[in-house]
Structure 1
Amino acid sequence: MSPRTAIGLVLAGGLVTALLWQRTAGFSAFTYETWRRVEVAREPVAVSDWRLQDAQGDFVRLSDWRDETLLVGFIYTSCPSVCVAIGSRYQQLQRTLQANPSTDVHLLSISIDPARDTPEHLAEYRRRHAGLQSSWTVARPADAQVLGDMIRETGLRVIPDQLGGFSHSESLHWIRDGQLLRISDWRDPELEKMITDGG
């Protein structure tokens, strides 16, 4: 091998290593979902004041829960799998919230299918999971721009499937005072600790 070829291979290897370092958050995230979590943990992300329509048909904004931590999950009500599990997990979290009434945590499910998820469908989804309006808001984006903002600001991937549904993350998004602070799974040990410690 000529010296020129060897130098070229070393430079190419260095470039590949640098790209992998950048794309994997310093070799700590090898899936897109893990990468999202690592990036938000490193630096919280500002989110706009999303305008939503809730299951009662009223319009609300994230700022309506100022000084509360929102645990945000993205759903669509006709989902036969992941969203059913998310609803069950919210039901369990709601029990923990009821046992700790001084907490400043609020549950928020937001539909990624606002065209079909009318307030009536949202209310039925919450009813199916024995949800209480006082601690769990189920809502949809007020318009297409809000939906786009949510997806862009959180890095959420929403992929239409061939059956009229969507593939999407089941992660939990922790938002407080206009900042996305954490993206976690539902078994995060900090989750129950945050609720029982009062937010």
Structure 2
Amino acid sequence: MIKNRHHTFACLLVILFGCALFYFGTDGFTAFTAETARVKELIADKPQFPNVTLEDSKGREYSISEFEGKYVFITFLYTSCTTVCPQLEMNMSKVYDKVPSKYIGKDIVFLSISFDPSRDDPATLEKYRGYFNSDGETWRMARIANKTELDALLKAFGVIVIPDEYGNFAHNSAFYIVDKKGRLLEVLDYKKTDEAAKRLTGILDMEAGE
């Protein structure tokens, strides 16, 4: 009987120790994956959008200060992508349509940034935006031609881009919200368009005092 009790106690101790390790290792059971942990760290750090030169589908060049005083809703893509990127941009379009029109352009702009600048020149981006009803103004598509600048932005925002031998890229995808001061505010699941639109509208409503 005593031996069985000792065995039961030992098992319970191992289970409790394992649960403790899992709790601390997953940041309180919330960071179940490396991606979740990465996003949590990004949101906590709130990195500044670096000083890079964007070139949009109209051939205009500017920095993020072009949108000073506005929130910026961002995706990262490449137009040759035939897997996640079309869905990412289609979902971007759904969020755009769900945000009250009174905020569009005035309080927030949408921005899709290509990480394949050698192929995604302004003409290519101009054609691509038409597939998703981007107007090129309140929702712009742009590239960062300078590789050093592009790499700095991808690193700052935790965007992982791995090229393969066929000219494609393995990459993570999300919605990014940058605040009026150019700092990363939120990273949202691009598959959950209703939640993203609700969160974005809530931020804008709060800003407007509604």
Paired residue for 2:102?
101
Please give the TM-score of this superposition, normalised by the length of structure 2.
0.77
Aligned mate of 2:50, from 34, 48, 51: 48
Please give the TM-score of this superposition, normalised by the length of structure 1.
0.81
Paired residue for 1:194?
200
DSSP 3-state at the match of 1:106: strand
When structure 1 is superposed on structure 2, of 39-48 and 112-121 the one drifting more is 39-48
Higher percent of residues as strand: 1
| Contact 1:51/1:60 (<8 A) preserved | yes
Identity of aligned residues (%): 28
Give, in angstroms, the shift of residue 21 of structure 1.
Answer: 4.2
Aligned mate of 1:184, from 182, 188, 191: 188
Aligned mate of 1:37, from 6, 30, 39: 39
| C-alpha RMSD of the superposition | 2.6
Paired residue for 1:5?
none
- Residue 59 in 1 paired to residue 72 in 2? no
Paired residue for 1:144?
147
- C-alpha change, 1:21 and 1:50, in structure 2 (3 Å) is farther
Aligned mate of 1:112, from 106, 110, 115: 115
Structure having the higher Rg: 2
CA distance in 1, matches of 2:29, 2:201: 32
Paired residue for 1:174?
177
Unmatched tracts of structure 1, length 5 or more? 1-12
Letter of the aligned partner of 1:69 in structure 2? Y
CA distance in 2, matches of 1:72, 1:131: 13
Give, in angstroms, the shift of residue 102 of structure 1.
Answer: 3.0
